[in-house]
């Protein structure tokens, strides 16, 4: 069980990176259509469940590393994409 904040952040980013790697077209489509979190809800939820199994409950209760990783990896890494969001 992960209890270190830095390790938890890395795990969250790795999971988000896997979502992007395996579902890049779906992520890009979600950004273009401004429905990323709806179109990728299954992948995001599956990642969240996996993350929650890895990380100690006390970190889960006091941090939002997984949500931050989703924004950093899924959205910021696609900032070159033409979308109505930005």
Averaged pLDDT for residues 8-36: 97
Residue 85, pLDDT > 80, answer no
Q: What are phi and psi of 23, to 5 degrees?
A: -135, 35
pLDDT value of position 60: 96
pTM above 0.85, yes or no: yes
Q: Report how far residue 4's alpha carbon sits from residue 1's, in angstroms, rounded to the nearest whole number.
A: 9
pLDDT value of residue 80: 87
* pLDDT higher than threshold 80 for residue 9: yes
Q: What's the pLDDT band for 58 if we cut at 50, 70, 90? A: very high
Q: Cα angle vertex 42, ends 25, 75, to 5°?
A: 45
């Amino acid at each position: 069980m992960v209890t270190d904040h830095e390790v938890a952040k890395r795990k969250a980013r790795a999971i988000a990176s896997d979502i992007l790697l395996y579902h890049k077209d779906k992520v890009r489509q979600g950004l273009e259509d401004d429905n990323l979190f709806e179109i990728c809800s299954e992948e995001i939820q599956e990642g969240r469940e996996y993350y929650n199994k890895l990380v100690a409950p006390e970190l889960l209760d006091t941090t939002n590393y997984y949500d931050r990783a989703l924004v950093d990896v899924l959205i910021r890494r696609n900032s070159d994409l033409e979308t109505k969001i930005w």
